[in-house]
Amino acid sequence: MPIDQSEAIILRTENFAEQDKLVVFFSKEKGLVRGIAKGARKFNNRFGSSLEPFSVVKIFYYEKEQSDLVTISNCDLLESAFDLFRNPKMACLFSYIAELTEKFSPYKTGEEKLFRLLHSLIKAARGGQALDVLARYFEFWFLKINGLLPDFQFCQKCRKPIGGAAWMEPQKDGILCQKCAREKKHEVTLLMRQVIKWMRKNPPEASPPPEWSPGEWKQLGRLFQSIITFHLEETPRSLNLLDF
């Protein structure tokens, strides 16, 4: 059977049968893939710590006929994320990232941009970037890559550039100006639009202007999360653990 190999990021694992693990990973070429690592629960198994969440690995696997699950034959650890998970809040953030990536990504469809986003977030986290900045950066680019990011510059109805306050449109696909908005529920402030503009231009490790307070990052998160929840048609489980 032909063996595929790819650079990949481990999203999560769960126990499978008596000695195996089900591994969900995001590969550079094929996107979201699920596979079985045989014997991965045995003591001193050949996978070692390479299957920990958000490890960057080189993974070797082969496809099985009539099964969506691939068989993972080997996995070489390129970058360990073990040190990041000592911080429980960081672990919560990455389980949120993993949950959304798994729920939104079509199976075995390559999306290199998303792979690069995940990889750049791991590096920025290791470089000490603040958790709220990492979370908003993920949400922003995740929405953009999935084609779900509204246009934040022009009113969806009258098409005029937004100057002052604006509100999220109920279908979450645009914002409305003061005149056009009827349901003024999710406000999109000028500052939020400045933060969005900043994220568009800067890499995830960049230092944001110090005057942007944690409260403002959190408020922007609520806005992004309302879009995510709307499209997912449920609240992501891991969102309850995210308090930033």
List residues binding Zn ion (CB under 5 A).
155, 157-158, 177, 180
* Cβ neighbours for 6, distance < 8 A, ≥ 6 positions apart: 27, 28, 29, 30, 58, 59
Q: What angle do CA 195, 196, 199 make, to 5 degrees?
A: 85
Q: Measured in whole angstroms, how far is the alpha carbon of residue 197 from the centre of its chain?
A: 19
For Zn ion, give the closer residue by CB, 178 or 202.
178
Provide the minimum distance between the beta carbon of 220 and Zn ion in the complex, in angstroms, as a whole number.
22
Provide the minimum distance between the beta carbon of 176 and Zn ion in the complex, in angstroms, as a whole number.
6
For Zn ion, give the closer residue by CB, 87 or 153.
153
Beta-bridge partner residues of 9: 26, 56
Task: Taking the CA atoms of 223, 226, 232 and 238 in sequence, report the sign of the dihedral they define.
Answer: positive
Provide the minimum distance between the beta carbon of 159 and Zn ion in the complex, in angstroms, as a whole number.
7
C-beta separation of 215 from 66 below 8 A: no
C-beta separation of 205 from 123 below 8 A: yes
For Zn ion, give the closer residue by CB, 112 or 151.
151
For Zn ion, give the closer residue by CB, 59 or 177.
177
Provide the minimum distance between the beta carbon of 158 and Zn ion in the complex, in angstroms, as a whole number.
3
For Zn ion, give the closer residue by CB, 144 or 157.
157
Distance CA 189, CA 170 (A): 16
Residue 85 structure tokens:
């998970």
Name the one residue in this structure whose structure tokens are 């991965």: 40
Provide the minimum distance between the beta carbon of 164 and Zn ion in the complex, in angstroms, as a whole number.
11
Provide the minimum distance between the beta carbon of 190 and Zn ion in the complex, in angstroms, as a whole number.
16
For Zn ion, give the closer residue by CB, 130 or 180.
180
In this structure, what is the dihedral angle of CA atoms 108, 81, 116, 88, given to the nearest 10 degrees?
A: 90
Tell me the pairing of strands 70-79 and 31-37. parallel
